[in-house]
A = this chain, B = another copy of it.
């Protein structure tokens, strides 16, 4: 472990600080220079590890897609429901708000990063696998394609609206008193297909 000249693990430190700053102030005010200053290195030091500002964001997104993919896979391996996968999706978003933000904001990212593209493809594969189960489920979803879009959209919507604070701003959040977001997610997404055992059908007739 070097002390003076070499930071030690600058790459990890940059990613950590970047996630912290972006989580607090968003991806647009995030600056490499202020980050390097906080870490006690020169402002061009991160460039060696990431190439550019976009490189940092690419790395952050890659990290995020890997983690999300891992979680979805773990959920599936544990026999997790579609609903469980959705809740896991929102849990990831609240655990790593900065990652989530950057991952789904392509205008911040480059499209030539192979590691990023691979991680994203893998994560999207897990996502589809998790949501694909709807097709041969016993929930009676006829329009399978629409069901998948609905499933992904609803959890992505909850996560996005919550993280940006718009759920609070809308006043809808207050209807749940102090119910935590994951419970809200389960209740809301649960309306989509209803419980697996058809005790209470999702629609009227």
Contacts and interface: CB of A to CB of B under 8 A. Distances in A.
B203 A193 contact: yes
A164 B106 contact: yes
A55 interface: no
Contact of A155 (B27, B157, B188): B157
B153 A153 contact: yes
Mostly, the A contact residues are helix
Interface stretch (A2-10, A77-85, A142-150): A142-150
Copies in the complex: 2
Interface residues of A, number: 62
A100 to B, nearest CB: 12
A165 interface: yes
Interface of A: 25-29, 104-108, 120, 124, 127-128, 138-143, 145-150, 152-158, 160-161, 164-167, 169-172, 175-176, 184, 187-195, 198, 200-205
Smallest CB-CB A-B distances: 7 pairs: A26-B107, A194-B203, A157-B157, A153-B157, A198-B205, A145-B175, A146-B187
